[in-house]
Structure 1
Amino acid sequence: MTYHPKSEFMATIMERGFLADCTDYQALDEAFRAGVVPGYIGYDATASSLHVGHLLNVMLLRWFQKLGGKPITLMGGGTTKVGDPSFRADERPLLSNEQIDANIAGMQKVFDRYLAYGDGPNDAIMLNNAEWLDGLNYLDFLRDIGRHFSVNRMLSFESVKSRLDREQSLSFLEFNYMILQAYDFLELNRRYGCLLQMGGSDQWGNIVNGIDLTRRVLDTEIFGLTTPLLTTSDGRKMGKSQGGAIWLNGDMLSPYEFWQFWRNTTDADTGRFLKLYTELPVEECNRLGALEGSEINEAKIILANEVTTLLHGAEAAQAAEATAREVFEKGGVGDDLPTLTLSADEVADGISITQLFVRSGLAGSGKEAKRLIAENGARMDDEPVTDAGLMVDAETLARSVKLSAGKKRHALVKLG
């Protein structure tokens, strides 16, 4: 639909490409113009770090705070014990309370980089839904909350339907998840005056459930807003790479590897990603995204520097760029390359080249490493590797070697 927003927040997110859908554009726009709007996004604590797939909504929260909203990062200490079945083929593994708490602590490090937490009217707050979910009385919950949900309607949601259509098991535990998420919105409105839930477009059904429940129980109007589910121009899900998830915590993925991920953006995605993942003016994003030939590479370096600076700081971005230039332009090794350090005992009898590619993270498996070699994509010290059975001895590793997978991915291997 064509809607011309009057609030700065709605205008900004529409212009930059964050908005997929909204339950009531005009009423939400007016709420922003009337005062501070508390809004939340929920994050289940399934890993000890957020990854690039989360970054779109983290940036949305950042703009939300900059333009007058009050962000609530809701950690799913309670809902993680159930597991969101949305668009999954199988049930999530259940985690212990200790694992969940450790994961939340790891995720908080990322939020602290993007949001200002505190006690002010516009400051972000972090909450944990275990606060209200852990103490629920099952019979009271069924009677007071469960009665508002139609099983017929729940079965019609795409996230449930897709599992059932494929005849994949959907446990009763998972089926309850959407009721718990709806209850979160109700509790956040009751306790903190929260007016808005944001999330990816796969969460639309869950968000609408919460709005409906809150209207029935509290007779309050609240809103939902979703972001597009991003795929890259070549059809891959945003945030996935050959080496696995692009983690946001520096101890799980080095700032250099994070920088390199953005530097490797395809030409067609550069302008769009500049608008979504940096704070550069939209006109500048469009100008950079329209560059062609070798000039678009400079736009990608700007993208990589801006995104890395937000997460890891300006120094880390500058170091990553310096290493990249050293490796790519001068054929050197660079100080900041991902490094695999092996002990002398591990390589006493030598180690296979395929193992080195796997251990250094340049290949996901031995099979992938062999395919890389067969397709002439593997190099050691800038020389082609042609023999997948090659053994590398301790003497070679003592002076450290540089491995390359294609032209853009590199790692060092040395003895510790």
Structure 2
Amino acid sequence: MTAVVFVGPTLAPQAVSDRLDATILPPVRQGDVYRVVGDKPTAIGIIDGFFEGVPSVWHKEILWAIEQGIPVFGSASMGALRAAELADFGMIGVGRIFEDYRDGTLQDDDEVAVLHSPAELGFQPLSEPMVSIRATVAQARSAGILPPDTSAEVLRCAKAMHYHHRIWPDILNALPELPGIAEFADWLPTGRIDAKARDAVAMLERMSEHLAGTPLPPSDTVRTEHTLMWKALRARIDAGDPPTDRGVIDELRLQPELYARVRDRAVLTLLSREEASRQDHTLERADLVRQMEAHRASAGLSRRSDLMAWIEANDLSPEGYETMLADAARIEAATASRAGRLDAQLLSELHRSDQYTLLRDRAVSKAEQAFPTGQSGVDRLRVLIWYFESRLDQTVPDDLDSYAVALGLAGRDAFYEMIEAEFLYCHRGADTGAAE
């Protein structure tokens, strides 16, 4: 097999073919490198890869390829990130972006992330990568187009944007009065630097030189550790790929009501990600642990082996599972920040879904009973066990305060008053002191 290059928005396929005889594949995702190793390519080049919504390529896949004697090159985007992380283990990084990640000058993944069109439209870039913005601003400053203070403000403004929204017109429109901006806007069409394409071309040239006989620097091969998750990934791929993502989504579309619910949750996830990025909000480890405990409790995954089996059955990696938890934590944070404004919208959604009258009538009936909540003499633990184990078929949460806040309540006391009223309502006319 010839060399393989994973590329998407950074370079067009023709630009790759002009410089290297290679099989051109879409941006790399989890499992792709392991798959192509089976075809024994002469070399693997990684330029683009998926960051969000699709599991990213594993480090172990790359180490596995190197262990099989296949050189792996990386540059520009996902390739630069992985090469910086695996340079000490034999991956060959090429270009300024790789060097900046390796040396710690760059640290954030969003420096190379871009919004792009789907595969059907050729992965066309729809936003500007931050690394290219930095290179362009540096060039304009060197050429005397941008004063130093304006250069710094352009970079600050661009970095504050979510990577989906980084396009030059929006950046310039946000800073119309700064010295040099008008001149910079005139210079930009011919002066713009595409830092990712520049590095990607350099990598292709380096690969071509190697395939023509130029030796690579010696490196120590690190043997891939055969962990449970690595074995699971290999077994899944060796057994044949599961249905494609598009196929799974089409199955979901065949159930319109479920599709609408999942779609709304997916939109909420995207919005919460964008808000966290704008506010530079970093999740604490405790947030992820709390989400994991909640998920394991709801899914009945009490043992670690059960959790690992669930991750494997759902075509996830540990990194993908953590991303799922992080999304849930961001949604929780975004919801909590809007707690005081949610009630009106909740009522509106109940009207829209035709659930309002049923709940209203129940609330009115409960209020008419005038149950003396807090003074009923019913044991609190009994009420909690009844509500969670009998009504919800789950265990009582360890952190009742967090559980209550997630429901828009002030804390556990308010939550207890609510479920005590429900307990009394459901047992009206019965001896609430009798055993159940």
Q: Which has more helix, going by share of residues? A: 2
Q: Which has more strand, going by share of residues? A: 1
Structure with the larger RCO, 1 or 2 (CA within 8 Å, 6+ apart): 1
Larger radius of gyration: 2
